[in-house]
Amino acid sequence: MSAIEVVTLGEALVALVAREVGPLASVGTFEPHVAGAEANVAVGLARLGHATAFIGRVGDDGFGTAIRRHLRGEGVDVSMLTTDPGAPTGVLVRERREFGAAEVTYLRGGSAGSRLRPEDVASAYASRTLKGARWLHVTGITPALSEHARAAVERAVELATGAGMTISLDLNLRRKLWSDDEAAPVLRSLAARAGVVFASPDEAAAVTGADAGDTAALATALLEMGPAIAVLKLGSEGALAWGHGEAPVHRAAVPVAHAVDPVGAGDAFCAGFIAARLEGGDLAWAVEIGAICGAAVVAVMGDQAGLPDREELERLLTDGPATDVLR
Ligand code: KDG
């Protein structure tokens, strides 16, 4: 494998996704998918040809094995994914809705992934594998998992800063894991050390205190926390990005003919954005690639299945979306 360019860390989970649309209480069958925001970004980057390493823990069980095999099969470096015999692999269960928000149930309290420690990160950075890595991607999910996991993210940010890496942070506020009051100071402190911050308007408002309906105020507030680039992911309305010294960008969403499963689209956006920046793309190009990757995921079940590889991305850029998938 070529030298690692991107490092990410967090909890990779098995998501049991309902096969039928409807409330969880009446779902009869589920299909397993590998999920977890940072794992999704790692796979997105690997598919686009960027050597990416994932730091984390899985349990010594079948789901842990499935996650390891899946990530390895996608070309993600899993040499720093530890098997922890002391706790099970985390699981989430989610229903699918065509109207209203789908419910997600976490079965991850005390999971192996939540036992990630700063020592795991320190030994990963001390290994030769990460020498020369250019980018660290973190999210607001991992610091919510446990004190140890929060300290692990802090350590990763500290080491990446020392190594001169670009750091991106996706706020990914998960209110089933912690309250806004708990999350805001932690995420503000991480944002202050990040080069790029991704957020939804709601997350940006919760963390900065700015009005969720005022995108200009949100952008100002996000940039005031310290990053050079702030990106607002607007779902079906596209994305907005601001960078010091770069013209602000608005990209309408790529329309999706059949929105099958929106979960994972934000992570796909991050993967596309990061890939474009690593390749020297400007802000507008990074948002363009992010938007295409996000739309491709929405059209397919599971967080990762629709992530485009390089060939598909080139095709989407040249020919536009296939009419039977994207309009
Ligand atoms: O962004 C998708 C993630 O939310 C999903 O894969 C599960 O990481 C996850 C979480 O904690 O919500």
In the predicted structure, residue 1 carries a pLDDT above the cut 80 = no
pLDDT band at 296 (very low <50, low <70, confident <90, very high): very high
Domain residues of the chain, as ranges?
A: 6-318
Residues present in the chain in total: 327
Q: What is the pLDDT of residue 102?
A: 87
Residue found under tokens 């308007």: 201
Q: Is the pLDDT of residue 67 over 90?
A: yes
The answer, yes or no, to whether any atom of ligand 1 lies below 6 A from the CB of 102, is no
pTM of the model: 0.96
Per-residue pLDDT, 324: 46
Q: Model confidence over 223-263: pLDDT tens digits?
A: 999 999 999 999 889 999 999 877 899 999 888 888 888 89
Please tell me the predicted confidence (pLDDT) of residue 133: 97
Task: State which ligand 1 atom lies nearest to the alpha carbon of 108.
Answer: 11
Cβ–ligand 1 distance for 303 under 6 Å, the answer yes
pLDDT tens for 267-283 read 999 999 999 999 999 99
Nearest CA to ligand 1 atom 9: 36
CA dihedral sign, ordered 242, 247, 252, 254: negative
Residue located nearest, by CA, to atom 6 of ligand 1? 36
Give the distance (Å) from ligand 1 centre to CA of residue 37: 5
pLDDT digits (tens, 9 = 90+) for 190-209: 999 999 999 999 999 999 99
Residue 211 has pLDDT above 50, yes or no: yes
User: Is ligand 1 within 6 A of the CB of residue 203?
Assistant: no
Q: Indicate if the pLDDT at residue 302 is higher than 80.
A: yes
Beta bridge partners of 135: 6, 166
CA distance 168 to 307: 19
Cα(164) to ligand 1 centroid in Å equals 28
Given ligand 1 and candidates 41, 169, 267, which is best to mutate, with the most ligand atoms within 8 Å of its CB? 267
Per CATH, the architecture of 6-318 is what?
A: 3-Layer(aba) Sandwich (3.40)
Q: φ, ψ for residue 308 (rounded to 5)? A: -75, 145
The whole-angstrom separation of Cα 132 and Cα 243 is 25
H helices within 179-324, ranges in order? 180-193, 201-208, 215-224, 265-278, 283-298, 310-319
CA distances in angstroms from 40 to 61, 131, 138, 250, listed in the order given:
21, 23, 12, 24
Q: How confident is the model at residue 321 (pLDDT cuts 50, 70, 90)?
A: low
Cα separation of 146 and 177, whole Å?
10
What pLDDT does residue 326 have?
37
State pLDDT tens for residues 156-170: 999 999 999 999 999
Determine the pLDDT at residue 259: 84
Query: Regarding predicted confidence, which is higher, 326 or 183?
Result: 183
Q: Which atom of ligand 1 is nearest to the CA of 10?
A: 8
CA of 327 to the centre of ligand 1 (A): 27
Residue 95 near ligand 1, beta carbon < 6 Å? no
Q: 19-60: per-residue pLDDT in tens?
A: 999 999 999 999 999 999 999 999 999 999 999 999 999 999
Closest protein CA for atom 4 of ligand 1? 37
- For the question of residue 309 being annotated catalytic, the response is no
H helix runs in the chain, sequence order: 37-47, 62-73, 118-126, 147-162, 180-193, 201-208, 215-224, 265-278, 283-298, 310-319
Tens-digit pLDDT profile for residues 71-95: 999 999 999 999 999 999 999 999 9
Whether the predicted pLDDT of 320 surpasses 80: no
Least Cα distance to 222 among 243, 239, 250 occurs for 243
Reply yes or no on whether the pLDDT at 115 is more than 60: yes
Q: What is the mean pLDDT of residues 111-122?
A: 98
**Which residue CA neighbors atom 10 of ligand 1 most closely?**
36
Query: How confident is the model at residue 101, as a pLDDT?
Result: 83
Which residues are within 8 A (CB) of 5 and not within 5 positions of it... i.e. 6 or more apart? 45, 50, 51, 52, 133, 134, 135, 278
* Res. 144: pLDDT tops 50: yes
Whether the Cβ atoms of residue 195 and residue 165 lie closer than 8 Å to each other = no
Handedness of CA 311, 300, 1, 286 (dihedral sign): positive
Residue 322 has what pLDDT? Answer: 56
